[in-house]
Chain A
Amino acid sequence: MTMEVLQPGLLSLIQDGGRLGKHRIGLTNGGPLDPEAFFYCNRLLGNPEGTTVIEASFGGLQLRSQLDTFICVTGATMPLAINGKEQPLWEVLPVAAGDTISLDFAKQGCRTYLGVADGFNIEPSFGSTATVTRENIGGLNGEKLAPGNLLPCKQVTERKRCYLPADHRPHYQDMVTLRVIPGYQQHSFNRLQQRRFFSHAYTVSDRCDRMGYRLEGPAISCDIEGILSEGICFGAIQVPADGQPIVLLNDRQTIGGYPKIGSALSLDAGHLAQLRPGGTVHFAPISLHGAHNALHLADSFMRRQPLMERRV
């Protein structure tokens, strides 16, 4: 039993919670760029956390179901249609064998998660189904989805028709404030450079992808050109010689030698990844203590947020 990919759109990838604990052999994390939308996709479907879904970037994905099941689409506002009839996002919907599911191009945001009841049944590699095309690992043969791909999943006849009320859904805008934990290699950037970084708007450049978002704005100069290559954590903000910051995301290289001015809070990096080229980014400092609290608060909120159920 499968779903067939009719059209993959610009970039559709199999993703789960990501590949953890494999940096020592050079493997990056992969996983959903917007963990919040990914989390709700599975929570609404009643799937275990981290269940395998499709991450569709920008849109244009079209599937044909070969079985009866339930789907849920969360994230960027890509118009969803089943057999040409428009359907809501953030809601569990039934599909029948033969139905065509299509996601048009995103109106706001750019990453959308399409999940099915009980998830897509993909063989994990190195403990995860997350596709990292740069490494040629995960998903189906390490590649993005292509027409004709068959995605195994289960026939499911009963599932609660949960939805997230409109007021509780994230709103994707063209501007994001990234909270940044400073202090990391901060000594290499003088006070003026730090002030410049935190007080100006930056623009998302064309060079933004799953590895990282390169921004454009007032150049930040650093007292050192490079450092001995070292591990790079998620959200690290590198400043290469041209002074234009790069926020490193899920598919980043695991080590590198550019100085870093700080590290973005993951909650905000998820919203950054919903920006397209031309989007605006502001940076605001946050203490580690504040970051820790913010993570716990957001986690608790996402888990406890009451879901509504559609009666049919």
Chain B
Amino acid sequence: MELHFAGENALMLYFGTETSARVSARVQAATTAIEKTLGEDLIDLVPSYASLLIIYNAMVTDHLSISHRVRSAVASLESGSNQGGQEIVLPVYYNPEVGEDLESLANSTGMSCDEVIDIHSSGEYRVYAIGFAPGFAYLGQVDERIAAPRLTTPRQKVPRGAVAIADRQTAVYPAQSPGGWNLIGRCPTRMFDPDATPTMPVAVGDRVRFKPVSRDEFLSLGGEL
């Protein structure tokens, strides 16, 4: 673990440099421990792939006190404790009708669309980070065979629910937004709903599976074309 001062009221903890479930589990364990240790002095936490940003209230404490408390909280964590998070299954309607890049992705990998769908829906993905936009969860790792680089020209509008791949990451767009990821299907589950409790069906550290559904099932689950 490495600790750096990131700003006037922020510390950055690094747990490694690679994307792996092991590192992510350490980030997750540290997130829970630090939240408990810092209590009211904490303003916010941003867990990501291999790091944790800690934002504290510099009016009630200082960097020396916080870094001391963070170090002791993290030191007492068992190494390799793999907190699994919840398992969440998200239905996906995989079809070129809603996955505009499905065919080109299949062509570029030399596989059929069905094979791409099989590979994507047979993986278990970990929520590594949430950011970019409200409710945007970065899921990984995507099987190397279907990893595809971002589009050279991002789309102005990617619809809500779009299921997409960029490199070895996959995501469900929580709202309509611009985006440069390869679209392969659409999910009827809302990834971010300000009026729902909880607001998001997933949190960092959760495990996500995708389940292929038919067009009719997609529509009956509230999906929009």
Give me the interface of A with B, judged by CB distance under 8 Å: 20-27, 125-126, 134-137, 181, 183-185, 228-236, 253-256, 263, 265-266, 288, 291-292, 295-296, 299
Give me the interface of B with A, judged by CB distance under 8 Å: 4-10, 12, 17-19, 43-53, 55, 58-59, 62-63, 129-136, 138, 174-175, 192, 194, 199-200, 203-204
A125 to B138, CA, bound (A): 24
Contact flag A24-B130 (CB < 8 Å), given A184-B12, A228-B51, A295-B8 = yes
Residue contact B7 to A263, C-beta cutoff 8 Å: yes
Residue contact A26 to B8, C-beta cutoff 8 Å: no
Question: What are 23 A-B residue pairs whose CB atoms fall within 8 Å in the complex?
Answer: A20-B44, A22-B44, A24-B45, A24-B47, A25-B130, A26-B131, A26-B135, A134-B133, A137-B134, A184-B5, A185-B4, A228-B49, A228-B51, A229-B131, A230-B53, A231-B48, A232-B53, A233-B6, A235-B8, A254-B131, A255-B46, A288-B63, A292-B62
Residues of A within 8 A of B194 (CB): 125-126, 137
Q: Which residue of A lies closest to B46 (CB)?
A: A231
Residues of A within 8 A of B9 (CB): 233
Contact flag A181-B52 (CB < 8 Å), given A24-B204, A26-B134, A253-B131 = no
Contact flag A26-B44 (CB < 8 Å), given A181-B8, A230-B49 = no
Q: Which residue of A lies closest to B132 (CB)?
A: A253
Residue contact B5 to A288, C-beta cutoff 8 Å: yes
User: Of B5, B7, B8, B132, which contacts A255 at CB under 8 A?
Assistant: B132
Interface contacts beyond A25-B134, A26-B135: sample of 12 additional A-B pairs, CB < 8 Å, sorted by A: A24-B47, A136-B175, A183-B4, A184-B4, A184-B12, A185-B4, A230-B51, A231-B48, A234-B10, A253-B132, A263-B6, A266-B8
Q: Which residue of A lies closest to B19 (CB)?
A: A228
Residue contact B131 to A255, C-beta cutoff 8 Å: yes
Residues of A within 8 A of B55 (CB): 23, 233
> What is the minimal beta-carbon distance from B65 to any residue of chain A, in angstroms?
11
